[in-house]
Amino acid sequence: MSFLSYLFNGLSLGSVYAIIALGYTMVYGIAKMLNFAHGDVIMVGGYAAFTCSMNVGLSPVLSILVSMGVCTILGILIETIAYRPLLEAASPLAVLITAIGVSYFLQNIVLLIFGSNPKSFQSLIHVPGLKLADGRLNINGETIVTITTCMVIMIVLTSFINHTKVGQAMPAVSEDKGAAQLMGINVNATIAVTFAIGSGLAAVAGVLLCSSYPSLSPYTGAMPGIKAFVAAVFGGIGSIPGAFLGGLLLGVIEILAKGYISTQLSDAIVFGVLILVLLVRPAGLLGKKVQEKV
């Protein structure tokens, strides 16, 4: 039963990675930029939920909704102030350096407000767990909610992109910004909506992550953000199904590596698997090789 326990834990962690990776892959797919501040938006979402639930006394649902609202507004502000002026004329390197600067800015703002000491995060998920196989396999409520939430987000996001006007504008902007603008699509608004959705999902991921691993610090989002980016590349950066698949596989590989090989080597194994996959499929599992037009 230990394998099944590891598997469910891996799917739970992988679901968090997948939700974060969706934000990465959407922004890259539409704006062709890597938002390395995304991991710190997760951290801000965790602190927003912590403040609402622990200090203000709001219910878990309201705390999560407020956290999503805070991160959504933050994502729009980051895109408008930090990235939009650079997208047209600046080099990709300038955008990347700006993203790193935004990341450190968010970390230091939180350090000034909350200090460097980790906070004990009380889980906002109050769902009873399951006992299977005559009690030999226990699945806690956080695992159930995390996996279910990831599946629901994936379904809703896919439906949004395929069946709404704003969602259908996103692939058009990704394909050709100039042509999309000539067709009457507001490119800047579409990119802002992409950042808003990705940042709102980051808040959900932050709450789920801190509920499963109840510690919160200004650096909480750093490593999960990097691993979620790895998951997006693993599945195929720019592909929403790829981000979902990559996140789940990454979580399962990490937990199985910790359980059967070594806790210290688990991260090395994860990145090693990524390298092997990219050697065979440079575009990722579900990514498509794009032919550059000359």
- Give the pLDDT band (50/70/90) at residue 101: very high
Q: Parse the chain into domains and list their residue ranges.
A: 2-221
47-51, 69-73, 102-106, 138-142: which has the minimum mean pLDDT? 138-142
pLDDT (mean) for 43-52:
94
pLDDT score at 177: 84
Q: Phi/psi class of residue 208: alpha, beta or left (left: φ > 0; alpha: ψ in -120 to 50)? A: alpha
In the predicted model, is pLDDT for residue 49 greater than 90?
A: yes
For residue 287, the SS3 value is: coil
Task: Read off the pLDDT of residues 242-274 as tens digits, 9 standing for 90 and up.
Answer: 999 999 999 999 999 998 888 888 888 888 888
Beta strands in the chain (DSSP E): 119-120, 130-132, 137-139, 215-216
pLDDT score at 291: 56
Task: Read off the pLDDT of residues 198-224 as tens digits, 9 standing for 90 and up.
Answer: 999 999 999 999 998 888 999 999 899
**How many whole angstroms separate alpha carbon 269 and alpha carbon 277?**
12
pLDDT score at 72: 96
DSSP string, 124-176: ------EEETTTTEEE-HHHHHHHHHHHHHHHHHHHHHHHSHHHHHHHHHHH-
**How many whole angstroms separate alpha carbon 154 and alpha carbon 243?**
10
Task: Read off the pLDDT of residues 133-179 as tens digits, 9 standing for 90 and up.
Answer: 666 788 888 899 999 999 999 999 989 988 899 888 988 888 888 88
pLDDT score at 294: 46
In the predicted model, is pLDDT for residue 282 greater than 60?
A: yes
- Give the pLDDT band (50/70/90) at residue 129: confident
**How many whole angstroms separate alpha carbon 225 and alpha carbon 137?**
30
User: Which residues are within 8 A (CB) of 135 and not within 5 positions of it... i.e. 6 or more apart?
Assistant: none
Question: Bridge partners of 139?
Answer: 130
Radius of gyration of the chain (CA): 19
- Give the pLDDT band (50/70/90) at residue 35: confident
Task: Read off the pLDDT of residues 6-15 as tens digits, 9 standing for 90 and up.
Answer: 899 999 999 9
